[in-house]
Amino acid sequence: MLHNLLAAFKYYCFWLIFFFIERLVFILYFFPKTRLFAATDISKVALYGLWMDLSMAAYICALPLLFFIVRMFVPAIRWGKKILRIYTIIVLFLCAFIAIVNLNIYFEWGSKISYKVVEYVIRFPEEAVASSSSSPVFLSLAILAVLVLLGIFLYKKIMVFARSKQLKPLLAAACSVLLIGLEILALRGGWQLAPMNESMAYFSNSPYLNHAAVNTEWSFLNDIIKNTGGKYGHKNPFIYYHKESTADSIVRSLYAVPQVPPPDVLTTATPNVVIFIIESYTADVIESLGGEKGIAPNMEQLIKEGILFTNTFASGDRTDKGTVAVLSGFPSQAITSILKFDNKQKQLPAISQVLANAGYSTSFYYGGESEFVNTKSYLLSHAYSRIIDKNSFDKKDMNSKWGAYDEVVFNRQLEDMNKEKQPFFSTILTLTNHEPFELPTTAHFGRATPPQMFKSTAYYTDSCIGDYMRKAAQQPWFNKTLFILVADHGHLLPENRYDINNYHRFRIPLLFYGGAIAPAWRGKKIDKTGSQTDIATTLLHQINRNADAFVWSKDLLNPASKSFAFYDWDNGFGFASPEQIISFDNIGKTITFRKNNVPQAVDDSLLMYGKAYMQSVYNQFLMY
């Protein structure tokens, strides 16, 4: 009996050791981040992570537990050992593979592997492969091999089965009940009222340390269950106020309609409008926004003749969220995306609908697959009469893994606009400044490191924008055209040092430019804190169109509108004001980032607004 109980205990400990090694690989892989913390903090990663490891190990041991129970009644059983060995190798490989994918996902997104990774792979395999192309393949495979081989080695060393005597049925049954009871206790995470969840591994104000402590496999499986079970589509995980009216009233106070009209910054009330949604164009590549000099020289020239909004934030961290924020003025929903829900996204307002109803011709240009993340359905549901995507280009122009390079798309759009009925509303979604950072020309900053690759593609996109504007300026419709240039979201690169909760990951450029800008406003800078979601109301007010449907959008040009921005990621949000910027972790239920040392009352006020905003946005998503 003791030998059999010991074997079950050793098998359980084997998985705890494996998870410890996996966590060690994580903190070594991200050593530049790890070295910023004291040894005591790193030790707490293992200590607090152990609790979740106990639960995940219990899940893996659920099937093998049957083998150990049967062995109590039939000690001579032999086939079970072989099945256990095969089962262990398979699970080892799966865990190691998840761990490797997690390393690359965390580097790119700043969050752990989740259901949306599986969703992208299943629905958009080509795009998923393209996104992963910049990952260090050989290093990833090497770590995968080491984890699997080391796991097999440990299994052989630890799992040495000794002969055991057959127990009396009553004693074997009692031991079986004991093992099952301990298994259930470990699965649940203990005796406490709340069952196991990620917050039990959280111990720090640093998202990195908390993410390192969380068991990757447990978190991944939990997220899959929540999503496939429809939980995120039917229940709000961001409840901070018991009364919805409380959260709603707080949010509405942010959007109180100013009694004074905004200034007129355009020379016409019916301009042509072209919106550039630029892939991953973080403020860190714009010199005028404090970014590195020389990455976007053409944007700098446009800034001198346009209106630059200097404190603009992306609503979310992915293109699908940014597209909806820009075109529909609807904020990101953190853990999900309304674009994926066809019955919901159709109910959103959109700039394209307003302008189409006003007699504008509408078009959308993208060098890749417009079906990606249900984008095509969204466009067709919101009055885009013409969609130009990868199917519209010659095969010779489809030279990147994502599709046609930016210059090809820009030239096609420019050619079409010369024949388009005016006024026109056209949207261009760029793609070159995206992993794997491919280029049709020489890399200006080299390709030796990810930051160099990113800067090189950002420089290329900037050169395409500059070339486009020079050609557009020669067209008769240029003087009546407003160009709006904005990023879809920020990026870890090129700085490669900001965690997901740092506002730098969400700060982006927003520029109004073109012949339709009144001369007196050219070269102006607007310092009001704002978001992508504010583009809709700001634009529509300038062309004397009703913006009441865009309830999550304010006028950035109206001095009387409030200065703030909200942004979010998988399980957290940030709130920015002129005084302060904070970030809040929804799992740890704590503020994890403060930009300035201000009175606590300021932080408390921003947290109040942020919580109300997050709750109300998700409620609105559920109601659609």
- ∠ CA(440), CA(129), CA(150), 5° rounding? 125
319, 461, 481, 529: the catalytic one is 319
CB 191 within 8 A of CB 175: no
Q: Tell me how far apart the alpha carbons of residues 462 and 468 are, in angstroms, rounded to a whole number.
A: 10
- DSSP assignment of 127-164 equals HHHHHHTTS-HHHHHHHHHHHHHHHHHHHHHH--PPP-
Q: DSSP 3-state assignment of 233? A: helix
Q: Tell me how far apart the alpha carbons of residues 590 and 372 are, in angstroms, rounded to a whole number.
A: 35
Tell how strand 565-569 and strand 590-594 pair up.
unpaired
Q: Which residues contact 196 (CB under 8 A, 6 or more apart)?
A: 51, 52, 55, 187, 188, 189, 190, 218
Q: Which amino acid is at 338?
A: I
416 is in an annotated binding site: no
Report CA-CA distances (Å) from 16 to 22, 55, 57: 10, 10, 7
- Known catalytic residue at 442: no
362 is in an annotated binding site: no
CB 67 within 8 A of CB 3: no
Q: Tell me how far apart the alpha carbons of residues 237 and 568 are, in angstroms, rounded to a whole number.
A: 14
489 is in an annotated binding site: yes
270 is in an annotated binding site: no
279 is in an annotated binding site: yes
Give yes or no for a cis peptide into 423 (omega within 30° of 0): yes
Report CA-CA distances (Å) from 588 to 37, 431, 567: 19, 35, 18
Q: Tell me how far apart the alpha carbons of residues 75 and 68 are, in angstroms, rounded to a whole number.
A: 9
| DSSP collapsed to 3 states, 590-620 | EEEEECCCCCHHHHHHHHHHHHHHHHHHHHH
Question: Active-site residues: which are they?
Answer: 319
Q: Which residue positions form the known binding site for substrate? A: 434
Q: Which residue positions form the known binding site? A: 279, 319, 434, 488-489
Q: Which residue positions form the known binding site for Mn(2+)? A: 279, 319, 488-489
